[in-house]
Amino acid sequence: MARARQERAEITRQAILDGAAIAFDRSGFGSTSLSDVVKHAGVTKGALYFHFPSKEALARTLMEEQFQVAEGVPAIVDPGLQTAIDLSHQMAHGLRTNVRIRAAIRLVVEFGSFTDPDPTPYNAWIETSFSCLKPAQDRGDVLPHLDARDLATYLIASFTGVQVTSHVRTTREDLHTRVTDLWNFLLPGITPGPRIPLFDPAGSPECRAALGLPAPDSPSVPVG
C-alpha cells in the first residue's frame, strides 16, 4: 500500500511539473499563477501545495531539470570539443521538442523575476562546458593561450543569445542552423587551423542520428 501511495504521489508530482512547464513556457514566471498551473496539471490546489510550497519552488525544480542534457558528460571517457558541440545541439533539440526544457530555460533567462537572482544555472552550464573544453585544450584542440573557463563562459552566453533570438524570430525553427553558425564562426578563433576539420559544427554523426537530425547539407531540420 505504501508503495502504491508513493507511485501515485510521484505521478501527481510529475503532472504538476508538466502543467507548470506549459504555463511557464507560455507566459513566463511573472504572468503565471498557481491557478494556471492547476488548470494545466489537472490537479487540485491542495495536491499542488502538498508537493510544492510556492510558485518559486516549482520554477526552481524545473530549472534544475535542464541539467539532464549534461548528465552523460562525466561518463564520457574523453570529453572534448566535439562533446561541447554535440551538447549544444542536444540542448537545441530539447528546446524544440521538450516543454519542460523550454520552460526551464525561459525561467533561467528571466532570472530577474526572482527576488534574489541566482547564477547557479549559468555557473553549472559553464562548468559543464569547461569539463569539455579543458581536456580539448590539453590535447591541442583549443589554442593554448586561451583561458578555457573564460571560453566556456563566452560559449554559454553566446548560446543563450542565439536561442533567444531564434525563439523570437522563428520560434526556434532555425535553431540548429544558428547553433551550427555559432560553431562555424567560433572554431577558427579557438582551434589550431589544421585541427578544425576534425570537428563537425552541425554535430557528430552519432549526435545527429540520436536526435533525428538530417545530414549537414540537407535543406531542413525537422522537429524530432
Span 33-74, pLDDT tens digits:
999 999 999 999 999 999 999 998 999 899 887 765 555 555
Cβ atoms of 89 and 75 within 8 Å: the answer is no
pLDDT in tens, 126-185: 999 999 999 999 999 999 999 999 999 999 999 999 999 999 999 999 999 999 999 999
137 is written with which cell numbers?
585544450
State the angle between helix axes of 120-138 and 148-170 in degrees (0 to 180), rounded to the nearest 10.
120
Chain mean position to CA 37: 22
The H-or-E segment that residue 93 falls in is helix 81-97
Rg, C-alpha atoms of the chain: 19
- What is the rounded distance in angstroms from the CA atom of residue 66 to the CA atom of residue 191? 28
**Distances, alpha carbon 29 to alpha carbons 13, 20, 68, 198, in Å:** 19, 10, 21, 42
Pick the closest to residue 222 from 124, 130, 97 (CA basis): 97
- Single pTM value for the model: 0.83
d(CA 216, CA 183): 13
